[in-house]
Amino acid sequence: MKKILSVTQFLLNGLRKHENIRCLHTGYISHQKQFVLTKDRYPHIKRGNYTELNDNHVKFFKDLLGSDRVLTDPNDVQPYNTDWIKMVCGTLVCEAGCVLETLDQELEKHNLMMPLDLGAKGSCQIGGNISTNAGGLRFLRYGSLQGNVLGVEVVLANGEVLDCLNVLKKDNTGFHLRHLFIGSEGTLGIVTKAALQCPPRPKSIILAFLGVEDFESVLSTLKLAKEQLSETLSSCELIDAPSLDAVNKYLGIKSPIDEFPFYVLIETSGSDVNHDEEKLNVFLDKAMTRGIVIDGIVTNEPSKMQNIWQLRERIAEALLHTGAVYKYDVSLPVQHFYEIVPLLQNELKDTSATVVTGYGHIGDGNLHVNIAAEEYDQDLVNNVIEPFVFKWVSEKKGSISAEHGIGLKKTEFLHYSKTPEAISLMKKLKNLFDPSGILNPYKVLPLH
Amino acid sequence: MKKILSVTQFLLNGLRKHENIRCLHTGYISHQKQFVLTKDRYPHIKRGNYTELNDNHVKFFKDLLGSDRVLTDPNDVQPYNTDWIKMVCGTLVCEAGCVLETLDQELEKHNLMMPLDLGAKGSCQIGGNISTNAGGLRFLRYGSLQGNVLGVEVVLANGEVLDCLNVLKKDNTGFHLRHLFIGSEGTLGIVTKAALQCPPRPKSIILAFLGVEDFESVLSTLKLAKEQLSETLSSCELIDAPSLDAVNKYLGIKSPIDEFPFYVLIETSGSDVNHDEEKLNVFLDKAMTRGIVIDGIVTNEPSKMQNIWQLRERIAEALLHTGAVYKYDVSLPVQHFYEIVPLLQNELKDTSATVVTGYGHIGDGNLHVNIAAEEYDQDLVNNVIEPFVFKWVSEKKGSISAEHGIGLKKTEFLHYSKTPEAISLMKKLKNLFDPSGILNPYKVLPLH
């Protein structure tokens, strides 16, 4: 009984939290802001042999655990969070329910930082970040969670607790099991604890917001930034004009520079402000002399930096004011990075779509394509947008999901980014880890 | 036929190469320097249901492929190497047989570098590096292969070619299969191609070689280096006095400073030599003012840096001159890092062991313990050294193999670093990927 309990207990407290993360991550966000159950959001899903949670289940657990140990009220469940275990030499060990921003604030006391940062940091939890292999704004500098997660504790489908909570930077004893749970979206096991390596917190952060005339100059800016800023470069983000317009128009946030077709946001993080400034000045001097960058501002004042970051981080939120937004998140070879945006603008010009924007982590080859419309139109999605986007990305050898995962809605498109042999092996792994298919059903793998 | 061919062809050309890597990596190195087959080196291994390669097999492949397409002469096989495929935006794609140093030299033309470096770079191949999840001298800065390998092509046990040769930095479509092949020592599949992300090559490298009075000061040096050198720190290595003595005595390489109980080698890599020098000077000034570091030299002259690196890289080679060396490679929490060396010196004082030394990657918590003796003594290994080392490391929650892997000789000790649930899951994975057990048999997993 104890073993099964471990899973179920977590499911009761944990599933809603996971759901909560997913709605920030997956597919298109509609204009609903309230928490909506999967069964309500996707009423047409063909349900397999799973029961629905009913009062008898809740009663069973209340009888077993005592009613004060089972949380059911959404207000109780949502902010439910767990606490620290320990932290030694740049290694953080925590429970899966810790909020990313809380972890980062705790690490600040030790002059350390989390190796990932994303717009949803105030609400997303590290267990969800790991299960979805979250990327984010500083991937360019600190790399992937596959590189930064040292260990995990996982509850398997059979109720067994798998302790791979290694805290050592190097451990080559046997297969590296933890990586199977990073990015498999809870379908192979449920992450309950994690150990991460955390870099030193930078003493100096400087932000530059630059106006650029064409996409070729964007690429030249990125190349020059890598060369000149090198070990201090911590972010390189692209914003196109329609994205910035939306943030201006719907959220009233002003750009600090004149209008350009493209804007590049460059952040440096280092240990010596004078050195970092000098490197940035050399970079800007070269970029402007060569005519790559036309205008720009540079600041290290926290409030000004926060304003500039909002121009990038709140694009998706701004576009929601138009009504509905179809969101895609793709990786592309950098030379093809922006091509898809004008192609889509042309493809959708006589449809209900009002704006097509492109922005994202150009330093990592990861583009967010957002299509805004007054109303959600499922036919447009199914017959026009998705066939076009996925086919085009696949032809350019990109990834149809760079950081947002597969979830429920992209399972049938997995073949655009993975070979039949790879999908077959994934299915065998799923069957090995979860033969009854009870872990996050309908997700990641296509049914057939 | 074609599918099976793909595996076998690789085995014929590849196994010796792989063997070649393993003898640089695994277990103890005896004083044999010639290439020795596993069957000769370990004559007492109980062989399973595998045939030995005989002339009929070679004839079969010569008939099938033509005799000029099957290499059998060791001189032909050993330097056999394959060439480039392509290289775009800091991403390298190559075949598994490429030698690490060759790859690094090629990348130098593009102002890039390999994200790993190790003493064996002149002979080890990237396929072996990936299969063994090699760590090395700059792990501290550039992280693990789990973080740097973007994709692999693998031949599975059933002859299928699994194409996971992703070249994108971000791709969250399905399970992250490639990580199963990184560090599983060829027991789940044979890596035939790989894609890696490669950092910019530093424009400035500076090396400091420091003399330190006690181990507590070594830890203070590491802490201060992380704080002050931060994003420029690329290596922090420890050498103890018996290690340096061996290099002096047997290889005639002189230390550039007076004698100390411990030496710390610190390397910085950056994009601006003036900035890097200034950071290093501030660090050294603080370290010497606080009495942490007593003496030291700093250089950025390539020939002098190479001399200093030899003091660290050639320790294992020097110790071989004593007769036999028992080598252990462990990860330990940094506060326990060196404790095991004096404990072992005491434990072995009335045995045939002549010298016990400790050195290694202190910046990553990875210690190499080498025990030199005039003659190889299997009883001493089985009854004294291994029970002591593995139990002690396990009690301190370390890893019994930080970067050298499990291979043939540590399978029965895997339980010291992995839980029964984890080992059971590994066995299930092995059975799924290789039900007939034909891939690198006897390795990694215990038989029972």
pLDDT digits (tens, 9 = 90+) for B343-399: 999 999 999 999 999 999 999 999 999 999 999 999 999 999 999 999 999 999 999
Q: How far is CA B421 from CA A34, A162, B424, in A?
A: 40, 6, 5
- Tell me whether B234 touches chain A (CB under 8 Å): no
pLDDT above 90 covers what percent of chain B?
A: 77
**Option in A171, A202, A399 nearest B171 (CB):** A399
CB contact under 8 Å between A179 and B89, yes or no, is no
**Option in A168, A173, A414 nearest B174 (CB):** A414
- Tell me whether A166 touches chain B (CB under 8 Å): yes
Question: Within the 269-288 window of chain B, which residues sit less than 8 Å (CB to CB) from chain A?
Answer: 269-272, 275, 278-279
In which residue ranges of chain A is pLDDT below 70?
1-39, 41-42, 45, 47-49, 74-75, 77-87
DSSP state of A99: B
* CB atoms inside a 10 Å sphere around CB A93: 18
The band of B21, judged by pLDDT with boundaries at 50, 70 and 90, is very low
Q: What pTM, to 2 d.p., does this model score?
A: 0.85
- Residue B331 in contact with residue B402, Cβ under 8 Å? yes
Rounded (10°) CA dihedral B263, B264, B265, B266? -160
Beta strands in A204-257 (DSSP E): 204-212, 233-240
Question: Within the 122-151 window of chain B, which residues sit less than 8 Å (CB to CB) from chain A?
Answer: 132-133, 135, 139, 143-144, 146-148
| Shortest alpha-carbon distance between residue A324 and chain B (Å) | 25
Query: Which string of DSSP letters, residue by residue, matches A295-329?
Result: EEEEE--HHHHHHHHHHHHTHHHHHHTTSEEEEEE
Domains in chain A, start-ordered, CATH in brackets?
2-26+88-197 (3.30.465.10), 38-81 (no CATH), 204-315 (3.30.70.2190), 323-417 (3.30.70.1130)
**Reduced to 3 states, what is the DSSP secondary structure of residue A447?**
coil
CB contact under 8 Å between A275 and B272, yes or no, is yes
**Option in B162, B200, B365 nearest A425 (CB):** B162
**Option in A177, A228, A421 nearest B162 (CB):** A421
Q: Average pLDDT of B316-337?
A: 93
Interface confidence (ipTM) of the complex: 0.84
Question: Within the 323-352 window of chain B, which residues sit less than 8 Å (CB to CB) from chain A?
Answer: 331-334
The band of B427, judged by pLDDT with boundaries at 50, 70 and 90, is very high
**Option in B160, B162, B365 nearest A169 (CB):** B365
3-state helix, strand, coil in chain B (%, to 5): 45, 20, 35
CB contact under 8 Å between A174 and B426, yes or no, is yes
- Which residues have CB under 8 Å from B23's CB, separation 6+? B29, B35, B36
A172, A204, A444: best mutation site toward chain B, by most B Cβ within 10 Å? A172
- Residue A178 in contact with residue B178, Cβ under 8 Å? no
The band of B38, judged by pLDDT with boundaries at 50, 70 and 90, is low
The band of B1, judged by pLDDT with boundaries at 50, 70 and 90, is very low
pLDDT in tens, A61-119: 899 999 888 887 766 765 443 333 334 878 999 999 999 999 999 999 999 999 999 98
pLDDT value, residue A33 = 39
- Tell me whether B420 touches chain A (CB under 8 Å): no
